[in-house]
């Protein structure tokens, strides 16, 4: 699969294992609380912009455009660290979140718990 054109450091680009759409998953975690806030997607250029501007920038699959988190909402994500996983298909982005991460106004996008059977509190 072709590597997308971008200004991303080639040494970093070489680590990435992209989907057919040229994307890697970005898990976003809040530095101060450790909460997992959301999952978004980056292509090489979104990662380049995130690493060089310190503002979390994603690729919107629905709108097919770059998306600086908070650009319209004001709910920016100030990037404190980015790590790539062992097989290069996921990033862990550590941020300070301004306001709510979720477009619903919730602190995190993961607010709907599913029932798990067999959970033992003391196991």
**Residues 33, 14: Cα–Cα separation, whole Å:** 32
For position 14 contacting its own copies by CB under 8 A, the verdict is: no
**Residues 97, 70: Cα–Cα separation, whole Å:** 9
Site for its own copies in 34-63 (CB under 8 A): 34, 36, 38-39, 50-54
CB of 5 to its own copies, least distance (A): 19
For position 80 contacting its own copies by CB under 8 A, the verdict is: yes
Name, in order, each residue with C-beta under 8 angstroms of 39's C-beta and a sequence gap of 6 or more: 25, 26, 27, 28, 109
Residue 41 near residue 30, CB atoms below 8 Å: no
Burial of 5-25, coded b for 16+ CB within 10 Å and e otherwise, reads ebebeeeebeebebeeebbbe
For position 3 contacting its own copies by CB under 8 A, the verdict is: no
Site for its own copies in 97-116 (CB under 8 A): 102-104, 106, 109-116
Q: Which of 13, 27, 68, 98 binds its own copies (CB under 8 A)?
A: 27
Residue 44 marked as a ligand binder = no
Annotated binding site for Zn(2+): 86, 102, 109
Q: By the criterion CB under 8 A, which residues form the site for its own copies?
A: 12, 15, 19, 25, 27, 29, 34, 36, 38-39, 50-54, 78-87, 89-92, 96, 102-104, 106, 109-120, 123
């Amino acid at each position: 699969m072709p590597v997308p054109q971008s200004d991303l450091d080639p040494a970093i680009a070489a680590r990435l294992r992209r989907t057919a759409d040229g994307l890697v998953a970005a898990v976003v975690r809040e530095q101060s609380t450790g909460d997992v806030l959301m999952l978004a997607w980056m292509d090489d250029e979104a990662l380049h912009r995130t690493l060089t501007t310190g503002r979390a920038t994603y690729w919107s699959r629905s709108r097919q455009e770059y998306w600086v988190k908070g650009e319209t909402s004001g709910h920016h994500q100030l990037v404190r660290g980015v790590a790539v996983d062992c097989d290069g298909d996921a990033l862990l982005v550590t941020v300070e979140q301004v306001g709510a991460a979720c477009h619903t106004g919730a602190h995190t996008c993961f607010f709907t718990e599913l029932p798990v059977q067999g959970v033992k509190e003391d196991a």
